[in-house]
Structures are given as C-alpha cells and as structure tokens.
Structure 1
Amino acid sequence: MEQEKALDIREITKAFLDVNRWSISDMAFLTNIPRSTLSEWLSDKRELSTRHMRCVRDFLGGNYVKDASAVCSDLLIKRGTDNED
C-alpha cells in the first residue's frame, strides 16, 4: 500500500511565495512577523510560535494569490521569452 505524502506548511509557504513572486520580506511586511524569524522557519532552523503560525495560515488563506488568469499570462509570457533565445 502506497503511503500518502502530506505537504507541510513550510513547503506550501515556499511554493506560495515562489508562484506569487514574493520575497520573505514581502511576507514579513504583510504578516508582521520579523523577516529573520520567517527565514529561519522556512529553512527549518526554528519553529514558529502559535501566534505566528496563525499569521502564516491567515496569510496563506488570504486574498494575496494571483488569480488563475494572471498566473496563465505569466506562464505564457515566460514561454514566449524562452522561445526567443
């Protein structure tokens, strides 16, 4: 029986930042969590407090994500740029 792999919140947050082209500094500004704290947490060097974890979950559940049409436009632009080389 194949065991399911669960995504952890660090992985989700990293992907979220990447897809939206946001930096850790952007996230720190929006969540009011110190940048150094987020950086250490994302690199698995520390755990977040319950309060900070709640802020991360609120951030991930917020209206910060680009909508699908914006993401598709970005992908098409990237493909067009890659084909020009």
Structure 2
Amino acid sequence: MVGMVINNETDSRYELHVDGQLAGQLDYQLIGDVIALTHTEVDEAYAGQGLGAQLAKFALDDAQARGLKVSPICPFVAKYIDKHPEYRVTVR
C-alpha cells in the first residue's frame, strides 16, 4: 500500500495519508541542524503494510535534502537505518 507523506511543520511530524485518512505519523523535534526522529506510529487498520517504512524513508530523505543531521531516537527509525546503510552518513 502506498500513501502520501507530508511534513506537517506546525505539529512537528511527518504524516502519511491513505485515501484522505491519517494512517500514520512520525514525530520529530528540530534543534538547529539536527532533526530528532522521536516516535513512529501507524494506525492498527494499516499495520503490516510497510507504511512505517514509507514514513522513515520520507523523513530521512527530507533530512538529507535539507542538510540536517539525524538523531534516530525512535527504535523503528534506528532499525530502518540499520537495514538501509545509505542513511548512516546523516546520523548524528
């Protein structure tokens, strides 16, 4: 399943929408040039469909594009980075 991810800067979170519904989010804190990815959550109705990975990839790609260092506080994001070593260069 593919959703649309947006950066909701007002609420400091990346949001993933499926068919117009909020299906998941990845919360963050921006401190200078570091983005701390703090918590990933996917609605139970969408569990097991790869949406958490979509959120992590979008957030990491966004951080890279913005020249931010990443602090992967969220265990899910840390595991995603372990599985995708190309993102390790941005980890703080």
Which of the five TM-score ranges fits, normalised by the shorter chain? under 0.3
Task: Give me the TM-score of the superposition, normalised by structure 2.
Answer: 0.24
Task: Give me the TM-score of the superposition, normalised by structure 1.
Answer: 0.25
Kindly indicate which of the two structures has a greater share of residues assigned to strand: 2
The structure with the larger Rg is 1
